[in-house]
């Protein structure tokens, strides 16, 4: 009973919210899809009792006991389980996830208190859509959202990685019956990372050939639910053709090398993921309060065609981030 009670007393640290990438690489119990279920994934996700879509991967979230060691003076120390913590859970989802799910993610970064806490469930299903297990994280909220970046030569389908944290955990290790049905999404097939557009102060920057993955995380502390204290946006890194980087060079000269190192040099930036014929925005991410941090040249040598392949790497910060998912 003591350990069960411990599950209801979640202990979170600031590092949990800010270490999404490190946490995922350290987990040995990560689950990955074994095959399609009804044309979709073998993970079905529900939020607040309503199915919101399929997840391509789910990792973490399994409670872990802290080992306490006591030495009573003998040769063999006494060990037992003390507090039990619930690590953050990561879900990799595509464009086809329900708008209600992504609205909840965005509200988790904008709101506070119990209003953004909802029960999160994950069904693991076999190839016949029979339920293998069900995990539930009660009173969950999103604490991290990772975007995949973009690259003109990357034909990979786009996905989000959503980090969540719950206050209580329940496990149904041997499920019975079928998993909820999830229909394949047209948007999942259309969101390809090579189809994108970057605008700076509303003007399209045609020389941008890549944007590194970036994430927004929520810092906070335990208490009566996760109490948010701040939103953190990772630095943004753009790769720009050197022949079309003059706008970024002038910005760097003014803000870093010149005498105008103040907020007047901040701009707006947007990243739009486009459908295959580039006629419609599938996902739009808008940044405000964007400042330039650094600029580096990636020369391609002195051989033929070197000017065409030379790149400029631009690093930026952003104060705010908003995103919108559109129907395909």
pLDDT confidence of residue 261: 67
pLDDT confidence of residue 183: 81
pLDDT confidence of residue 293: 96
Calculate mean pLDDT across residues 157-174. Answer: 94
Domain assignment of residue 198, given as a range: 2-64+74-325
pLDDT confidence of residue 56: 93
Calculate mean pLDDT across residues 113-132. Answer: 88
Q: If you average pLDDT over every residue of the chain, what do you get? A: 84
User: Does residue 60 belong to any structural domain of this protein?
Assistant: yes
Nearest to 17 by CA among 190, 209, 232: 232
pLDDT confidence of residue 10: 35
pLDDT confidence of residue 161: 98
Identify the bridge partners of residue 134 per DSSP, sorted by sequence position: 123, 172
Question: What tens digit of pLDDT does each residue of 1-11 get?
Answer: 434 333 333 33
User: Does residue 69 belong to any structural domain of this protein?
Assistant: no
State yes or no: pLDDT of 33 exceeds 90. Answer: no
User: Does residue 92 belong to any structural domain of this protein?
Assistant: yes
State what percent of residues in the chain have pLDDT above 70: 80
CA-CA distance, 175 to 62, in Å (whole number)?
A: 17
Nearest to 255 by CA among 215, 290, 216, 208: 290
pLDDT confidence of residue 209: 97
State what percent of residues in the chain have pLDDT above 90: 65
pLDDT confidence of residue 30: 46
Tell the residue number behind the tokens 């097939």, with chain if given.
189
Nearest to 243 by CA among 285, 181, 199, 305: 305
Contact 33, 43 (CB under 8 A): yes
User: Does residue 320 belong to any structural domain of this protein?
Assistant: yes
The two beta strands, 160-165 and 118-125, are: unpaired
Name the pLDDT band for 305 (thresholds 50, 70, 90): low
More confident call, 42 vs 233: 233
Calculate mean pLDDT across residues 96-124. Answer: 87
User: Does residue 151 belong to any structural domain of this protein?
Assistant: yes
More confident call, 16 vs 149: 149
Name the pLDDT band for 112 (thresholds 50, 70, 90): low
Domain count for the chain, please give it: 1
pLDDT confidence of residue 263: 75
DSSP letter, residue 40:
B
User: Does residue 113 belong to any structural domain of this protein?
Assistant: yes
């Amino acid at each position: 009973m003591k350990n069960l009670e411990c599950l209801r007393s979640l202990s979170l640290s600031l590092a949990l919210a800010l270490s999404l990438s490190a946490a995922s690489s350290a987990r040995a119990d990560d689950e990955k899809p074994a095959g399609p279920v009804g044309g979709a994934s073998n993970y079905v996700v529900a939020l607040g009792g309503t199915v919101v879509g399929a997840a391509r991967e789910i990792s973490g979230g399994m409670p872990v006991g802290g080992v306490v060691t006591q030495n009573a003076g003998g040769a063999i120390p006494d060990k037992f389980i003390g507090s039990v913590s619930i690590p953050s859970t990561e879900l990799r989802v595509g464009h086809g996830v329900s708008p209600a799910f992504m609205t909840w993610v965005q509200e988790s970064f904008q709101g506070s208190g119990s209003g953004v806490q909802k029960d999160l469930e994950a069904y693991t299903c076999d190839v016949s859509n029979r339920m293998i297990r069900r995990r539930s994280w009660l009173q969950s909220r999103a604490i991290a959202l990772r975007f995949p970046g973009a690259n003109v030569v990357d034909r990979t389908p786009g996905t989000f990685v959503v980090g969540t944290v719950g206050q209580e955990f329940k496990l149904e290790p041997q499920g019975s019956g079928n998993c909820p049905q999830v229909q394949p999404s047209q948007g999942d097939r259309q969101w390809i990372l090579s189809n994108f557009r970057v605008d700076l102060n509303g003007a399209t920057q045609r020389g941008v050939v890549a944007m590194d993955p970036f994430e927004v995380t929520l810092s906070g502390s335990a208490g009566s639910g996760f109490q948010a204290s701040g939103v953190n946006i990772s630095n943004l890194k753009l790769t720009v053709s050197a022949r079309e980087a003059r706008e970024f060079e002038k910005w760097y000269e003014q803000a870093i090398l010149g005498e105008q190192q103040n907020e007047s040099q901040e701009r707006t930036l947007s990243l739009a993921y486009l459908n295959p014929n580039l006629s419609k925005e599938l996902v739009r991410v808008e940044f405000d309060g964007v400042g330039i941090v650094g600029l580096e040249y990636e020369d391609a040598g002195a051989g033929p065609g070197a000017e065409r392949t030379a790149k400029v790497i631009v690093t930026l910060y952003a104060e705010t981030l908003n995103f919108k998912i559109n129907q395909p």
